[in-house]
Chain A
Amino acid sequence: MEGSTIIFYLLAALTLVSGILAVSTRQIFRAAIFLLFSLIGIAGLYFWMQFQFIAAVQIVVYVGGITVLIIFSIFLTQKAGEKMPKQKIGRQIFSALAAFCGFALVMVQVYQYTFSSNINEAVSPTVENIGNRMLSVGEGGFALPFEVVSMLLLAALVGCIVIAMRSPTETVNEEKTEILIEEEIDVIV
């Protein structure tokens, strides 16, 4: 057995086991950490398939960005060390059954189908090729989706700020209470 095969199975096990733990553990912070390991395993699979750029993007965006965002929001909204309430056992069993049935259905379909690969010369996914293809406006270029995604990111940025911003009335009320508290303190002093 070759080394790359062993590495593949190790990465697959890391991805799947930490994925299962991420959806089944009752401590939300641990769930976030297991999600992190699952994403790292997927990045390792991209490295294994020799898509280095995608693996780097996966690590930067998912492991470095989204997971940190999730952990921050856990800190902002959860009480530390508190376990999530237990789910009903019936719901768990039926969810697992539904997920397993879907999995079996898809796998049966996949194994019955024979994929035919084409035999043209392979394009290596180097950064140079990716950059040329992404910004070309000709045949097979991705300049328009690139621009659309940049607009989407801008809209998401503005939308996040608007959604998470306090409403003006709320702020005014808090300021008033702060002023009242200060006055009370002055009176006491």
Chain B
Amino acid sequence: MLQPGLYHILFISTALFFIGVYGFFTRRNLITVLMSVELVLNSVNLNFIAFNKYLWADKLDGLFFTIFIIAIAAAEAAVAIAIIINLYRSHHSIDVERAEEMKF
């Protein structure tokens, strides 16, 4: 086995990104779609940290991007779950195919 480096981490983050994309394509439940989005966001974070460590170690820019992405992802998850709960209250289902109209 090779000494792990940038390419290994890029492999992991790409694989994780497309696992998330697969989940996004196949799932029909809003909460599982949200989980897939979280996987995608995490793969992006991993990418930023890897580039920061292996290519631009003299700066901290990748780290800051990761911090801001984590903050925005937390806000996004909270808003998404509020929407899901509201949708469940009005439709009694969180299947994306049952939520057809955008009105209340």
Contact = CB atoms under 8 A, between A and B. Distances in A.
B75 A156 contact: yes
Contacts, number: 220
Interface of B (DSSP majority class): helix
A45 B42 CA distance: 11
A47 to B, nearest CB: 11
15 contacts: A15-B16, A16-B16, A23-B26, A38-B39, A42-B45, A45-B46, A50-B53, A77-B84, A91-B25, A95-B22, A122-B58, A130-B63, A152-B71, A153-B71, A166-B89
B102 interface: no
Interface of B: 1, 3-4, 6-12, 14-23, 25-29, 31-32, 34-36, 38-39, 42, 45-46, 49-50, 52-61, 63-64, 66-68, 70-79, 81-86, 88-89, 94
B50 A115 contact: no
Contacts of A115: 6, 54-55
Closest 6 CB pairs of A and B: A23-B23, A95-B25, A156-B75, A120-B58, A122-B57, A99-B22
Interface of A (DSSP majority class): helix
Interface residues of A, number: 85
